[in-house]
Amino acid sequence: MYAQYFLPKNKKGKVPLLMWHGGGLTGVTYESTPDGREGWVNFFIRKGWDIYVSDAVERGGSGFASPDVWPSEPTFLTYQDPFERFRIGDGEGSWNADSAKQKVMPGSQFPVEAYANYMKQSVLRWLSNDSAIMAAYIEYVDKVCPCVLLLLLHSQGGAFGFKVAEQRPTRSRPSSRSSRQRRASSPTHPS
């Protein structure tokens, strides 16, 4: 597991924040938005929190192993999959390579014009490595925490986060506010 950390000079947070990405992504997800605005990393550093951003086993800075270690085939996200599944588009059949023909979900706040940049962040992943990922996250939490773990967990990272929190209840603190509440109280929220 790869992790980078940022320790601000004027610390205000009592424990570090851990940011875990979703499936097919890496920690770069938290560095900036697809349309180039700064992401959660800088937002929380400015607020005085120690930040730890990881790349799960097999992704990004963690690298990946040869087929003798990971015997299954990797999966790749198509442009259509996240567009429709993450409700950027208005359901099945909403994706089209021609952006003028894409059907965007009404009220979507995703910067659709930067969708291709978002997809450039995607990486291959294996569906058979969850036990290795869990073991790495547990070791990571044992080294870094006590921490706020359930604050910024995205998609697949959320499933791992809840399992780790169950296995290490004294090492992690859940966030007490929903993402909607955080967004409402933060005018500079990087959506």
pLDDT tier at 169 (50, 70, 90 boundaries)? confident
Residues 152 and 174 placed together within one structural domain of the fold: yes
Instruction: For residue 191, tell me if it sits in a domain.
Output: no
Last residue of a domain, one of 121, 137, 152: 121
pTM of the model: 0.82
Instruction: For residue 72, tell me if it sits in a domain.
Output: no
pLDDT digits (tens, 9 = 90+) for 66-110: 888 888 888 888 999 999 998 999 999 999 999 999 999 999 999
Q: According to the model, what pLDDT value does residue 149 have?
A: 65
171 vs 27 pLDDT, higher one: 27
pLDDT digits (tens, 9 = 90+) for 33-49: 999 999 999 999 999 99
- What would the DSSP string read from start to end of the chain? -EEEEE--SS---SS-EEEE--TT--GGGGTB-TTS-B-HHHHHHHTT--EEEEE-TTSGGG----TTTS-SPEE---SHHHHHHTTSBSSTT---SSGGG--BPTT--S-GGGHHHHHHT---EESS-HHHHHHHHHHHHHHH-SEEEEEEE-THHHHHHHHHHHH-TTTEE--SS-HHHHHHH-TT---
Domain residues for the domain of 102 are 77-121
Instruction: For residue 91, tell me if it sits in a domain.
Output: yes
